Structure 1
Amino acid sequence: MKASCPVGVDVRGGAACATSPRILYWCETTDSQPFETGIQRVTRQLADGLVRRGADLVPVGWDAGRRLLRLPKPAEGELAADWLLLPEIPISVLGEGLDPIQLARAYGLRSAAIVHDLIPVRLPHLYDADAQALYRRYFRMFASADLVFATTDLVAGHLRTYLRTERLTVPPIMVVPLPGQFADTPRVQDAPIKRRPGDPLQLLTVATWEPRKNLLRLLRGVRLAQSRGGLQIKLTLVGRRGCYPEHDAEIETLLMTISGATARARTDNRELADLYEACHASVYPSCDEGFGMPVLESLWLGRPCLCHAGSAMAEVAPGGGTMMTDMADDTAIAAALTRLAAEPTLIDQLTNDALARPLRTWANYAADVASRLQLASAPV
């Protein structure tokens, strides 16, 4: 029986679903939060793509009162399925000390999960003790999975290393890169009006206000670049504040010392696309990512991106339309920004490269996940 998916996908109807795989799809965190992180974008867009391919997708979560998997009411009691797929972090059940993949096995289900990064165990100083314990439980969970999808080779390697260090089983891990497509927005095909001599360089940064996103170094780099030769650089910072009040205060203090720098809360996709349209290039300063979606999303919207020459960006960024530098170095950031501001032809070339670069879509991503689930389901 079909049910309406709380991530905004209509899974009702369609004759193609009659013989398609039935997937219990864990999406309760995404359904409950009004804002959209990278993981939640993946959860929503993958759900939509799988349904469009004819998958019988049943949204599930955790019923703490009954200590059972929670299904939509029309589907209650119908746990017969091919897979339990976890595209997000199942915080509710992990918070009770339980392993959702082991629960799936108790129901006789095969399980697959997406691993986005291992930053909480690689940078534990950024998390309190309770969060560290929950994330350790989360990453140990992958040892029981029948199939794991990693966003990059880097993340796949981190997970293998972690599980071996914990003396746990390493499951089959397949690298399925995320797409560059920005939500449901059509790809920008035409080059923007060229920056005229004397116009300020308009930059956009989309990132949550948390220490690992490296916003303080970016702001110091902008200030340093502005001090060199009177370059005009304007930066718009778009992002949701995290849980780091002292860090937030440092960002706000720095913003007040930088001419033309402004900050605004994360907005909806339409307004964000308009902000990309108004800029000449984007800057993604993070030095540690599992993928770095804003890099490719910027290219999708026709704007080149300045990003880190390391971590997952070393896999994601090459291919045209990006400029890479050491984002762990204020001076290197300032030098890259100076080039972008002082060499208009560089922006033009990077923009042309961004427009010409092939980029994957969410339909491509869903097709890759679906085909691997079907292959894993085939009898040996």
Structure 2
Amino acid sequence: MTAPDLATAAQAALAGRLRAVTPILAGTSGPDTAADPAVDAAILFEIVVSAVEDDLTDERVWLLMAALSAILPTRAEVDATRRRFQLDSAIDLRMHLLDTALARVQAAGTATTGIEVVVGEVLVDVDHSAKHDLHTGIQRVTRNLLPRWDTERSIVPVVWSLDNTALRRLSPAETSRVIRWGTVTPTTAATIDVAEPVTAEPPAVVVPWRSVVVLVEVPPGPANDRLAAIGSKSTNALVGIAYDVIPIVSADAVPPVESMKFARYLTAVKFASRMAGISAAATAEMRGFARMLPTQGLTGPVVSEVSLPAAGRQDPSARDSSRRDARVPMVLSVGSHEPRKNHLAILFAAERLWREGLAFSLQFIGGSGWGDEFPRVAADLKAAGRPLEVRKGVSDRDLNRALTDALFTVFPSLHEGYGLPVAESMAHGTPVITSDFGSMAEIAADGGAVTIDPRDDEQLVAAMRSLLTDPDRINRLRQEIADRPERGWAEYADELWAALVEPELARCTVAAADSRRMEGTR
């Protein structure tokens, strides 16, 4: 595209963005489109800026800024621009708005990008699951939740632009990765494609207005400043799932960079309207954070508990137990390889039991992780001939087979927001050894698990020895699993919608109707 053509395209894009917000800001659809896009943009620019001058609020400044640059502004940017409205002369203000917008679109490459203003909708941020193949705790929640909401509710799944300054709709490949995960063949890498979709035109930026923005994942770090503005400087409601506060509460158990990222996430959460904890433990952690916010003059989010599903009812007689009751039983541990998962304790307990002469194999299935001690100790045990296997990048099918084949699973984590491997083990009718506190104890309370103090190696050794040598106890635990109350992903999806979305969507819908009535009187 030549320079003149690019300039014309940029002028037309600016005119299109301004026309998209004119009905909201000025209460009119605006004049007919001028033949010259520069003239069209100039006319619309004056209409919307004058309208904001006449009714100056943070929300209207936020929307104007999004239209001028196709970038969602931060709280600081909204404050700075509102002050220019209050202090600058009419000419200086307009020059500042144009100069600032030009600098931003040049830096972000959004000069020819359009916007799509969505009113009264539910936007669901699925950035990580849409762009990556990683399929552990949070991603498993997203990929179980979104297909149900997509079928039964009206939602707009969104991801962040490459520079994390704006939201856009998902590409077909990203949609498949979130909505139809079972049809996607994961690549060997953790990431398939984090670049923008290749299209003839840049994807439109989605600008919410009187809508609900739902965080079902922890968003990318740089996006949090813009999410904070969505929650506090726009007409939208920001809500989300509270998984845990592990990077802060157990900062010693995660890499320092993860604690820094999570702290940025909390800067957005403190402007959320509602958060739903995935367990009583996660809810308590998030409520603790919310209780600190009045010291900043903030009310913080309303925090409720909507626990993840534990396990459906199982019929032990209907299951093929020939593989897991084989002569050499298999013990399984599922989870990322990081110190707080306590995998070194499992290796220690297994070696103790192997030295006692007990025959069993041990499998670890997990995704990402950090630290080098677990891989080193595991490699040493394998080199010594121990029946140990560490598997990564396992498909859902193979994971389900392993959970079915295992005599029992072991999950003695030191800190969890929920402990999905415990619930998934029970969903396959397989007993679990897990920790006797927090969310893991919550799941275990309905039966099917042996709880231990994960910091006491002797308790772990004794529990594993008991399940390896006492088939009657295994059978009792399997029956306890079969007798557990049934609550699945469908129930969770409905309960989460009722707790997070419905109250805020109702408020936004009423506000949108009031706004339309006011616009009609202008």
Give the direction of change, closer, same or farther, for the CA distance of 1:374–1:267 in structure 2 (3 Å limit): same
Partner of 2:444: 317
2: CA distance between counterparts of 1:263 and 1:338?
21
Partner of 2:222: 93
Give the direction of change, closer, same or farther, for the CA distance of 1:259–1:127 in structure 2 (3 Å limit): closer
Cα-to-partner distance string for 1:312-367 (whole Å, 9 max, x where unaligned): 11112111211111222211111001111111111111112212322321111110
Cα-to-partner distance string for 1:284-324 (whole Å, 9 max, x where unaligned): 12121000011111111111111111121111211121111
Partner of 1:175: 305
Give the direction of change, closer, same or farther, for the CA distance of 1:170–1:239 in structure 2 (3 Å limit): same
Cα-to-partner distance string for 1:11-55 (whole Å, 9 max, x where unaligned): xxxxxxxxx9721110111111112121111112211121222x2
Whichever residue aligns with residue 59 of structure 1, its letter is P
Range 217-226 or range 253-262, more displaced? 253-262
Give the direction of change, closer, same or farther, for the CA distance of 1:276–1:247 in structure 2 (3 Å limit): closer
1:348-359 aligned within 5 A: 348-359=475-486
Give the direction of change, closer, same or farther, for the CA distance of 1:181–1:319 in structure 2 (3 Å limit): closer
TM-superposed deviation, 1:129: 4.1
2: CA distance between counterparts of 1:35 and 1:93?
21
Partner of 2:251: 124
Range 120-129 or range 264-273, more displaced? 120-129
SS at match of 2:458: helix
1:244-283 aligned within 5 A: 244-257=371-384, 259-283=386-410
Give the direction of change, closer, same or farther, for the CA distance of 1:81–1:365 in structure 2 (3 Å limit): farther
Give the direction of change, closer, same or farther, for the CA distance of 1:213–1:257 in structure 2 (3 Å limit): farther
Q: Give the conservation status (yes or no) of the 8 Å contact 2:271–2:301.
A: yes
2:409 equivalent to 1:307: no
| Among 203, 213, 233, the residue aligned to 1:84 | 213
TM-superposed deviation, 1:67: 2.8
Partner of 2:345: 217
Larger radius of gyration: 2
Whichever residue aligns with residue 162 of structure 1, its letter is F
Partner of 1:110: 237
SS at match of 2:362: strand
Partner of 2:418: 291
Whichever residue aligns with residue 483 of structure 2, its letter is A
Partner of 1:38: 137
Whichever residue aligns with residue 213 of structure 2, its letter is L
Q: Give the conservation status (yes or no) of the 8 Å contact 2:240–2:274.
A: yes
Whichever residue aligns with residue 236 of structure 2, its letter is L
Partner of 2:126: 27
1: CA distance between counterparts of 2:164 and 2:472?
63
TM-superposed deviation, 1:135: 1.0
2: CA distance between counterparts of 1:101 and 1:163?
15
2:61 equivalent to 1:61: no
SS at match of 2:430: coil
Comparing both structures, which one devotes a greater share of its residues to helix? 2
Partner of 2:282: 155
Partner of 1:47: 146
Whichever residue aligns with residue 71 of structure 1, its letter is R
Q: Give the conservation status (yes or no) of the 8 Å contact 1:200–1:232.
A: yes
Partner of 2:458: 331
Consecutive unaligned residues of structure 1, counting only runs of 5 or more, are 1-19
Consecutive unaligned residues of structure 2, counting only runs of 5 or more, are 1-118, 171-201, 511-522
Range 239-248 or range 312-321, more displaced? 239-248
Q: Give the conservation status (yes or no) of the 8 Å contact 2:211–2:235.
A: no
TM-superposed deviation, 1:195: 8.6
2: CA distance between counterparts of 1:341 and 1:366?
37
Range 72-81 or range 356-365, more displaced? 72-81
SS at match of 1:365: helix
SS at match of 2:399: helix
2: CA distance between counterparts of 1:51 and 1:197?
40
Range 255-264 or range 359-368, more displaced? 255-264
Q: Give the conservation status (yes or no) of the 8 Å contact 2:311–2:484.
A: no
SS at match of 1:98: helix
Q: Give the conservation status (yes or no) of the 8 Å contact 1:284–1:308.
A: yes
TM-superposed deviation, 1:249: 1.9
Give the direction of change, closer, same or farther, for the CA distance of 1:137–1:66 in structure 2 (3 Å limit): closer
2: CA distance between counterparts of 1:122 and 1:65?
29
Pairs aligned (count): 354
TM-superposed deviation, 1:243: 2.8
Q: Percent identity?
A: 26
Give the direction of change, closer, same or farther, for the CA distance of 1:188–1:39 in structure 2 (3 Å limit): farther
2:469 equivalent to 1:342: yes
1:168-207 aligned within 5 A: 168=296, 169-180=299-310, 190-193=318-321, 199-207=327-335
SS at match of 1:108: coil
Partner of 1:13: none
Q: Give the conservation status (yes or no) of the 8 Å contact 2:324–2:407.
A: no
2: CA distance between counterparts of 1:368 and 1:201?
39
Whichever residue aligns with residue 193 of structure 1, its letter is S
SS at match of 2:270: helix
Give the direction of change, closer, same or farther, for the CA distance of 1:188–1:251 in structure 2 (3 Å limit): farther
TM-superposed deviation, 1:89: 0.7
Give the direction of change, closer, same or farther, for the CA distance of 1:188–1:42 in structure 2 (3 Å limit): farther
Whichever residue aligns with residue 366 of structure 2, its letter is G
SS at match of 1:131: helix
Give the direction of change, closer, same or farther, for the CA distance of 1:71–1:92 in structure 2 (3 Å limit): farther
TM-superposed deviation, 1:181: 5.8
Whichever residue aligns with residue 211 of structure 1, its letter is P
Partner of 1:369: 496
Tell me the TM-score normalized by structure 2.
Answer: 0.62
Q: Give the conservation status (yes or no) of the 8 Å contact 2:330–2:362.
A: yes
TM-superposed deviation, 1:141: 2.4
2: CA distance between counterparts of 1:38 and 1:27?
14
TM-superposed deviation, 1:162: 3.0
2: CA distance between counterparts of 1:69 and 1:83?
14
Range 121-130 or range 59-68, more displaced? 59-68
Q: Give the conservation status (yes or no) of the 8 Å contact 2:126–2:142.
A: yes
